[in-house]
Structure 1
Amino acid sequence: MTLTKASIIEEIQNQLRFSKKETTELVETLLEIMKRTLADGEDLLISGFGKFCVKEKKQRRGRNPATGDDMLLSPRQVVTFKCSGKLREKINNGT
């Protein structure tokens, strides 16, 4: 099952006893801060969870999978994620 923004809001609301409106504003504000940080090209480090980094991709040759035609892929930025050791351990050991 996929964890959605709605289920995150519901979980926070249940655990912290905030109103749904307060919880929604809290989550939306957090996500906006994260998006703005990454859009500015800065890394985002959440201790115990992982690190989001913005990487530059150079222009490169590619292939259209539908037609098989060669094409030139434009330079772009991508977000990468590297999980922390604690998260990796929790995923692998289930503790």
Structure 2
Amino acid sequence: MIKSELVQKLAEQNPHLYQRDVENVVNAILRTISDALARGDRVELRGFGIFSVKKRGARTGRNPKTGDLVAVSEKVVPVFKTGKEMRQRLNPASPKKRKRATAGATAISRLVEA
């Protein structure tokens, strides 16, 4: 889904709002998240996930075409970690499997029974 599809879907779900107002709200939310990340803050949306930034240190890389060593400067990259509710929604609960007893546990249970 791209931003315009998100705006359209939200406008359909909220017919009392104009599409341009929905677009302004979506842009404001995304701008606020971007500004917070630019400041180095973390943004947590409960049930959805956490946006944060991670610092990658400087390193020596290789030019894939020539194989020459290249200095890669340090950089800050955005990171997203899904929330618990999102993970559960993406991975519906499946029947739990019984754990098989390990050899040590089986030997101990035999000694207890004897």
Give TM-score scaled by structure 1 length. 0.90
Paired residue type of 1:24: E
Moved over 3 A (4+): none
Match of 2:6 among 5, 8, 15: 8
In proportion to residue count, which structure has more strand? 1
Q: Which runs of 5+ in 1 are unaligned?
A: none
- Partner-residue secondary structure (3-state), 1:36: helix
Looking at both structures, which has the greater relative contact order when contacts are Cα pairs under 8 Å and sequence separation is at least 6?
A: 1
How far apart are the structure 1 equivalents of 2:82 and 2:68?
Answer: 36
Paired residue type of 1:42: D
Q: Provide Cα deviations, 1:28-66, integer angstroms capped at 9, x if missing partner.
A: 111110110000100111100111111111111111222
State, as a whole percentage, how many aligned pairs show the same letter: 29
Two-structure CA RMSD over aligned residues (Å)? 1.3
Paired position in structure 1 for 2:48: 49
Give TM-score scaled by structure 2 length. 0.76
Structure exhibiting the larger radius of gyration computed from Cα positions:
2
How far apart are the structure 1 equivalents of 2:65 and 2:89?
Answer: 40
Q: Counterparts of 1:30-69 in structure 2 under 5 Å? A: 30-69=29-68
Paired residue type of 1:9: V
How far apart are the structure 1 equivalents of 2:64 and 2:43?
Answer: 33
Q: Counterparts of 1:18-37 in structure 2 under 5 Å? A: 18-37=17-36
Alpha-carbon distance, 1:67 to partner: 2.3
- Partner-residue secondary structure (3-state), 1:82: strand
